[in-house]
Amino acid sequence: MKYIRDPLEIEKNSNKIIDARLDRGKFDEREWIVVKRVVHATADFEYARVMEFSPDAVGKGLSALRRGCRIVTDTRMAEAGINKRLVKDAGCDVRSYGDHLDVAIISREFGITRAMASMMIAAEEGKNGIFAIGNAPTALFKLVELVQDGKVCPDLIIGVPVGLVGAAASKEALSTISIPYLITRGEKGGSVVAVAIINVLLSLLSIRPDVNNTNVLKKG
């Protein structure tokens, strides 16, 4: 059976396919690198249509990572998928709070989802950092509420929850507040998307924004 085995060749061919089927359009250089990484991770070209960045969202995210910020995820799966070497090199740490001992207590007490409770705990343990929400729309809704109440002020919110109920509306809510954001409009998203975005941002820390995109795909 014949197939490509060299990982560098696989990356090169993937990048060629993306370049052949998409153009940069509205995105600046760094945004386009992020978009391409998401398309590469999902094999879904529609992300080039639904991804949206607030002004200088990538720059704000990179500044936070350079300071060694906390990266908060809404699932253990996303936490596990983030490149540990890149996190260590940046002096950052990754946390998810779904298994926190108080999550079940808060969820029962307030009649809310565990994902919402995890955001409340995350806010108590630090106001800043990058929040990457890929799974639970309710987590993003609660995070927006916490921002509006002045309980948390993230450097960047990656709001890409997937779902048929609440996902689109939660991203719309995020886009109305004055916090740097990166979203996928509509129902599309997921932990894979959130992880791809975090990993490519970490990769960009040590790469000039005008580099060949293939290098970023390899690192992410």
Q: Enumerate the active-site residues.
A: 40
- Distant-in-sequence, close-in-space partners of 182: CB < 8 Å, separation ≥ 6: 34, 51, 52, 53, 54, 57, 58, 61, 156, 157, 158, 159, 160, 197
Sign of the Cα pseudo-torsion (57, 63, 65, 69, in order): negative
Is 124 in contact with 72 (CB distance < 8 Å)?
no
Phi and psi at 214, nearest 5°, equal -60, -40
C-alpha distance from residue 65 to each of 78, 99, 198, 199, 202 (Å): 17, 25, 10, 11, 7
Tokens 């945004």 correspond to 31
Distance CA 175, CA 38 (A): 20
User: What is the rounded (10 degree) CA torsion for 200, 36, 77, 160?
Assistant: 110
Is 209:216 a contact under the CB 8 Å cutoff?
no
